[in-house]
Amino acid sequence: MDGLFSEVLDPILSNPAVSLATNLCTLFFVVFSVALIFWTYRDAERRGAMHWFWALVVLLFNVFGWMIYMVVRPPEYAEDARERELEIRAREAELARDAATCPACFKPIEPDFLICPSCMKKLRKECISCNKPLKLDWAVCPYCQTKQ
């Protein structure tokens, strides 16, 4: 039985075209594996993941390690996350500058309101002399210098 297989397979395996195809497939597999390891290393580094660990996983488990990395990798690049955080902070600062809000109900208020029209929370007190709005903790009016 063993001799039958060798009689059938020997002419096929000794063919130069089959040998060339085998060598090309081996070369492709090696180049593909190195490229996959390199890509995983760079991608994990840009995403803030453990790049050495994931490169080692792909080296040991090849495509299966890469598939595991693709499932558990961080969803965005670290640089994009930092940029998004900066944009959020800039928008929050812009909103804080543009419109004042009530500390109790967060509804928009004018800077000179004495109470919130929505929730009736006392926001400021009125100066006893010049009737300008003052912060609740101020002891002296900065406009007319009257003690409160």
pLDDT one-digit tens code per residue, 45-77: 999 999 999 999 999 999 999 999 999 999 999
Give 146's contacts (C-beta < 8 A, 6+ positions apart).
127, 128, 129, 130, 140
Name the band, by pLDDT with cuts 50, 70 and 90, for residue 100.
confident
Does the pLDDT value for residue 10 go beyond 90?
A: no
**Residue 100 β-bridge partners:** 109
Tokens, residue 82: 């930092």
Q: Are strands 124-126 and 108-109 parallel, antiparallel or unpaired?
A: unpaired
Average pLDDT of the chain, as a whole number: 91
Q: Which percentage of the chain shows pLDDT scores above 90?
A: 74
